[in-house]
């Protein structure tokens, strides 16, 4: 068996800031890393659950009803279940009747910018918190710049990225890469460049995959 205390696994996570299961899956992964004693080099990759979402967004309950055919009662039950799951993982899902789902493409451009600055991971987590806990509109550029600045990104440089659109093509290319490789839902995690797991699979399952990836690296 490999020495897990010194093992670091590359983990690619295809994700959308709008996806509650993405932050749930990541927190479960964190638990698995703690259980196994391993480390991870995490890189986030762009995916848009709703690429055609208009700038003004849409009421979350209304969106879920239209997309999945859920009744108001089912939608409320699902949100309550997600909130309970979140509490066990240290996530505060502050859903309300006014919660909205918004366009995430600008957020993905900022994450692409943050990658080159070594701040992609803290920005991703800060965006999850801004959207799900603080109920801030992460399609609003002023909000995005506030969040970017809070993790140490230069505000003026981040603003230039959004205004110029110079990373639009880069994000589109990355999205196309993952969708062309069969990714149609998130979170999708690739462990050690080899093992693909889709959906929030739970800490125990992630721990098993981490151990398998570590064995492969040691062999």
pLDDT, averaged per 10 consecutive residues of the chain (219 residues), comes to 70 98 98 97 97 92 88 88 96 94 97 97 98 97 98 98 98 98 96 96 97 90
Return the DSSP state at 55.
T
Contacts with 52 (C-beta within 8 Å, 6 or more apart), sequence order: none
188/125 Cα distance (integer angstroms): 16
pLDDT of residue 131: 98
Residue 188 main-chain phi, psi, to 5 deg: -120, 125
Q: Residue 176: inside a domain, yes or no?
A: yes
pTM here is: 0.94
Looking at the DSSP bridge assignments, the partners of residue 45 are 14
pLDDT of residue 163: 98
Asked if residues 111 and 124 have their Cβ atoms less than 8 Å apart, the reply is yes
> Based on the structure, what is the number of domains in the chain?
1
pLDDT of residue 34: 97
Q: Residue 77: inside a domain, yes or no?
A: no
3-state SS assignment for residue 97: coil
Q: Residue 185: inside a domain, yes or no?
A: yes
CATH code for position 138: 3.40.30.10
Q: Residue 28: inside a domain, yes or no?
A: yes
As a whole number of angstroms, the longest Cα–Cα distance in the chain is 52
**CA neighbor of 123 nearest in space, from 142, 140, 147, 106:** 147
Q: Residue 96: inside a domain, yes or no?
A: no
Supply the range of the domain harboring residue 136. 4-53+106-218
pLDDT of residue 120: 98
186/165 Cα distance (integer angstroms): 25
Chain-centre distance for alpha carbon 204: 20
Q: Residue 68: inside a domain, yes or no?
A: no
Structure token digits, residue 57: 């967004």
């Amino acid at each position: 068996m490999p020495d897990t205390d010194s093992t670091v696994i590359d983990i690619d996570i295809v994700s959308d800031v709008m996806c509650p299961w993405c932050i749930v899956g990541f927190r479960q992964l964190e638990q698995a890393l703690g259980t196994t004693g391993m480390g991870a080099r995490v890189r986030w990759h762009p995916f848009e659950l709703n690429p055609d979402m208009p700038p003004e967004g849409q009421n979350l309950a209304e969106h879920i009803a239209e997309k999945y055919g859920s009744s108001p009662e089912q939608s409320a039950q699902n949100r309550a279940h997600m909130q309970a799951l979140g509490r066990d993982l240290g996530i505060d899902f502050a859903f309300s009747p006014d919660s909205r789902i918004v366009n995430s493409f600008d957020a993905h451009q900022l994450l692409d910018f943050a990658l080159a600055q070594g701040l992609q991971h803290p920005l991703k987590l800060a965006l999850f918190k801004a959207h799900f806990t603080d109920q801030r509109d992460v399609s609003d550029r002023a909000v995005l710049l506030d969040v970017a600045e809070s993790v140490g990104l230069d505000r003026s440089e981040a603003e230039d990225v959004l205004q110029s659109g110079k990373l639009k093509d880069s994000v589109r290319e990355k999205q196309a890469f993952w969708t062309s490789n069969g990714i149609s839902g998130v979170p999708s995690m690739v462990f050690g460049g080899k093992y693909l797991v889709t959906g929030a699979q739970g800490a125990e399952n992630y721990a098993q995959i981490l151990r398998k990836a570590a064995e492969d690296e040691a062999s």
